Chain A
Amino acid sequence: MNNENPHNQSITELKQTAAQVRRDIVRMVHAVNSGHPGGSLGCTDYFVSLYFRVMNYSKEFTIDGKNEDIFFLSNGHISPVWYSVLARAGFFDVKELATFRKLNSRLQGHPTTHEGLPGVRIASGSLGQGLSAAVGAAQTKKLNKDNNLVYVLMGDGELEEGQIWEAAMYAAHHKVDNIIATVDRNGQQIDGSTEEVMSLGDLQAKFEAFGWHVLEADGNNFELLLPALENAKAATGKGKPVLILMNTEMGFGVDYMMGSHKWHGVAPNDEQLEIALQQLAVDVASDY
């Protein structure tokens, strides 16, 4: 069993890493004038927490991920944050971030195993499929007597897909209690706010009614997010799947992107990029 994180950063270090990752995100989407910065920026602190502090894993990537914590991204469109974090965590050279969405790249618009990118275990992009895959992987861990955990991130708009609720029902019925699912509750989707487009209502009550243990977290504050992630870990192994409703702000860290669905899938122009980079200052910049 792997019970250590290869980085184990302090909160001060995590904040620096997060700023660097956010710089990567805006530069990546700017370079190809496409991609999804809003959700990526909102979830940066979550990804950085998992890969630089919370998850116990080996930097030597294997698809099977035996005896280590493994992560699935269900809302694959926020690939920029995942790619940056994987590179910064040591899975591949940060220079490769420059190939994002370009011909012959391993960094496809949406994540995939097809080109063999270390860190990715299944393709995602078409929404609603990641929870099923993560639950399946969690059951295999149980069959393998592997005590490490499975993490999965979903978008909140994605919860409109019926398959999510099939998987939610299944995980509770089969007592898949070695999974920590997180919902990025930024309240935004492409056509507007989630409550305008398709109201999600009381997600805590909904998941509890489906038999899950539900926690809430602030996804843009390490001082609050890290304890919530530890609480989630402590809630595993008790017969119920665990869900974190993580409140985030879309575009967090770049003021003109914050709180609006308009930056879901739009890249900044040259001038906007410069403004963003000024706002995402780091002590020692190491842009790719």
Chain B
Amino acid sequence: MKEYTYTEKKDTRSGFGDGLLELGRTNPNVVGLCADLVGSLKMGAFQKEFPERFFQVGIAEANMIGLAAGMTIGGKIPFTGTFANFSTGRVYDQIRQSVAYSGKNVKICASHAGLTLGEDGATHQILEDIGMMKMLPGMTVINPCDYNQTKAATLAIAEHEGPVYLRFGRPVVPIFTPANQKFEIGKAVMLNEGTDVSIIATGHLVWKAILAGKILADKGISAEIINIHTIKPLDNDAVLQSVAKTGCVVTAEEHNRIGGLGDSVAQVLAINKPAPQEYVAVNDTFGESATPDELMEKYGLTENDIVAAAERAISRK
């Protein structure tokens, strides 16, 4: 098992905020919109340095999406910021018609995704957003795993023409991917080559997959670990090549098991080369108030859950 270490933990939302600030300095067409959550989205530095390119929308997310779609007309590249819940479910029809169907170059940037939002509870813990966004034709869906990757993703989506959903979170998590990495949309990242089981993870679950890989290695099981930061378009080749080698797969995500990364992987496998698959995901339920760690434990999203799922998958080969 390849060694992964970290010296610092940081929230992925800060990667977004720092990426946006850098974009402000390098791309004059980038504009920011926020629905009364500047601090939570880490958009304050951009707002301060580029006040003429920052638009406070107030608590009016539907209008924010519509404004962003309109701002693209004339060449701006709008980055909208609010919580993942208010970035997707609340404004699905606005995204569908004004952004996706209209083919607008809007970057929907969503923080506090999933259970790790913590104590605010289920009203704010969206677990369906990846599903909703990936069902929209033409939408790119990205869920990076740490601060460095989120910053790199933020920079990369400005260069990508078309609507993007960028999902990140609130808790501090280990920074284990390289600084100043090149972010290739739609390209899986191989973290560890293995032969017994493929662990395909996204977002906060990537680090947990690495921890699981170490536990499995101690048990004599060789896990291949793949970081899928882009859920749509999915790197089908990476999935198929890995599973062709290992013969089974575990998918891991901080999302409902319905409609997320797991289903995307299952679809690719079902069509091309079926293989045993186990899901590490929230089991079609809402979350609740507690600390992020307590929630990840209760809802089955820890490294131990990944290990158990890997053993189940292997047993089904």
Contacts and interface: CB of A to CB of B under 8 A. Distances in A.
A258 interface: no
A122 B70 contact: yes
B161 to A, nearest CB: 12
Task: Tell me the interface secondary structure of chain B in the complex.
Answer: helix
B74 A140 contact: yes
A112 B102 contact: yes
Given A113-B103, A166-B60, A64 B74 contact: yes
A66 B94 CA distance: 24
A143 B52 contact: yes
Contacts of A162: 62
A66 B55 CA distance: 21
Given A143-B52, A163-B66, A169-B58, A132 B98 contact: yes
Given A129-B94, A166-B60, A167-B63, A121 B76 contact: no
Interface range for A: 35 or more
B69 interface: yes
Given A122-B102, A123-B98, A129-B94, A163 B62 contact: yes
Given A123-B101, A125-B97, A166 B62 contact: yes
B68 A136 contact: yes
Contacts of B69: 122, 132-133, 136
B233 to A, nearest CB: 19
A132 B74 contact: no
A65 interface: yes
Interface residues of B, number: 31
A1 B235 CA distance: 46
A134 interface: yes
Given A132-B62, A170-B67, A70 B73 contact: yes
B214 to A, nearest CB: 49
Interface in A134-148: 134-141, 143-144, 146
B73 A129 contact: no
A122 B93 CA distance: 14
Q: Taking each of A113, A134, A136, A139, which has the highest tally of chain B beta carbons within 10 Å of its own beta carbon?
A: A136
Contacts of B65: 132
B70 A65 contact: no
A122 B74 contact: no
Q: Taking each of B55, B78, B97, which has the highest tally of chain A beta carbons within 10 Å of its own beta carbon?
A: B97
A163 B73 CA distance: 20
Contact of A166 (B53, B63, B71, B102): B63
Contacts, number: 117
Contacts of B68: 136
Interface in B98-142: 98, 101-104
A133 B96 CA distance: 14
B1 interface: no
A137 B31 contact: no
B73 A65 contact: yes
A113 B55 contact: no
B75 interface: yes
B75 A144 contact: yes
A113 B162 CA distance: 14
A228 to B, nearest CB: 25
B82 to A, nearest CB: 13
A63 interface: yes
B98 A122 contact: yes
A167 B74 CA distance: 19
B57 interface: yes
Contact of A143 (B31, B58, B93): B31
Given A125-B97, A174-B55, A132 B66 contact: yes
Contacts of B58: 166, 169-170, 173
A135 B57 CA distance: 12
Contacts of B63: 132, 163, 166-167, 170
A123 B102 contact: yes
Contact of A133 (B60, B66, B93, B103): B66
Contact of B73 (A130, A137, A170): A137
Given A146-B74, A166-B62, A133 B53 contact: no
A114 interface: yes
B60 A140 contact: no
Contacts of A167: 63, 66-67
B143 to A, nearest CB: 27
A124 B74 CA distance: 19
B97 A64 contact: no
B101 A137 contact: no
Contacts of A278: none
A140 B70 contact: yes
Interface in A59-102: 63-66, 70, 72
B162 to A, nearest CB: 13
B70 A136 contact: yes
A126 interface: yes
11 contacts: A70-B73, A121-B73, A124-B97, A125-B97, A133-B98, A139-B67, A143-B76, A144-B74, A166-B58, A169-B60, A170-B60
Interface of A: 63-66, 70, 72, 112-114, 121-126, 128-141, 143-144, 146, 162-163, 166-167, 169-170, 173-174
Given A114-B102, A143-B76, A144-B75, 7 more contacts: A132-B65, A132-B66, A133-B69, A135-B66, A143-B74, A162-B62, A169-B60
